[in-house]
Amino acid sequence: MEKNQHISSPDIPVIDLCSPDEELVAIAVVKASQEWGIFQVVNHGIPTELILRLQQVGKEFFELPETEKEAILKVETHGWIISFTASGHRLESTTNSGLRILESTLNEEYASHIKKLSEKIMEWLSEGLGLRRLRREALKEGLGGETVEYLMKINYYPPCPDPELVVGAPDHTDVNGITLLVANEALGLQAFKDNQWIDAKYTTSGIIVIIGDQFLRMSNGKYKSVEHRAKMDKEKTRISWPVFVESSLDHVFGPLPELITGDENIPNFKPYVYKDYKFRKLKKLLLE
Ligand SMILES: O=C(O)CCC(=O)C(=O)O
């Protein structure tokens, strides 16, 4: 293909969770996870008003002075981190008054919705592995059951005069099981598919679902851990709120045992303690 040749790229799948036929919804979720590893869900049951409030407090948070922000949340290279346990309670506590704007009621309310939604998606994905009758909860259990953690990060991308020169979030796959992300009106998320970067189109109340490495490995390769990145916008500030659903650090994960049934179904991946897997990935060490 010529380098400058224009090809029209497909859009990432959009799945309406309100469709009356749940089986069709489940099939669409499984297909999108196999072929894309990323999709947007709409009519997902999380009130738009709650998502807008989350976005509003996120904006207010970034208007705080740097020192206050840092005192409230953990700063990482590409964002601010807040974590929840599976029951929706914040893991890290702080007494800083600035936390009012990220007050736990809002986050706990959002976390409990995200937990419900992610569990539903995990059920559909477990069924999609042929584990319907016995193990609807197979993926959730494989991830650690009630010890599963929900880590919310806030990514802030200020306007950038030359977005081609500055990368927002570099090309990566998520290390965890599944990520559920909302973003403000500035687009910028891209997914790599069929040798090209595809702009993810979404609405501010839609939820982007991203399959990560843990689900690639637990499904023995059936679900795709999608490469993605985020670009900066020339004029607009972009903010995104991913929630990473993942094992606790000492949990061992690998291909689900039910999928390994004999000579034809051998494990394609080695099991890892999650913290070792994260460490190896971070250090770019060999992963089998
Ligand atoms: O901001 C985005 O849309 C993507 C962020 C992301 O990939 C990440 O935080 O790992």
Tens digit of pLDDT for each residue in 175-185?
A: 999 999 999 99
Catalytic residue among 140, 153, 222, 224: 153
Structure tokens of 280? 């190896």
Q: Kindly state whether residue 160 falls inside one of the protein's structural domains.
A: yes
Cα 260 from Cα 256, distance rounded (Å) = 7
Q: What is the 71 CA–ligand 1 centroid distance (Å)? A: 23
The pLDDT value recorded for residue 244 is 92
Q: Kindly state whether residue 288 falls inside one of the protein's structural domains.
A: no
Domain limits for position 45: 6-250
Position 240 pLDDT exceeds 70: yes
Q: Kindly state whether residue 281 falls inside one of the protein's structural domains.
A: no
What's the per-residue H, E or C state across 85-125? Answer: CCCCCECCCCCCHHHHHHCHHHHHHHHHHHHHHHHHHHHHH
pLDDT digits (tens, 9 = 90+) for 15-24: 999 989 999 9
Q: Kindly state whether residue 265 falls inside one of the protein's structural domains.
A: no
Stronger pLDDT, 125 or 134, i.e. the higher one: 125
Q: Kindly state whether residue 70 falls inside one of the protein's structural domains.
A: yes
CB atoms within 10 A of CB 47: 13
276 in catalytic set: no
CATH of the domain at 15: 2.60.120.330
What does pTM read for this prediction? Answer: 0.89
Q: How many helices (H) and strands (E) does the chain have?
A: 7, 14
Cα 280 from Cα 113, distance rounded (Å) = 32
**160 CB less than 6 Å from ligand 1?**
no
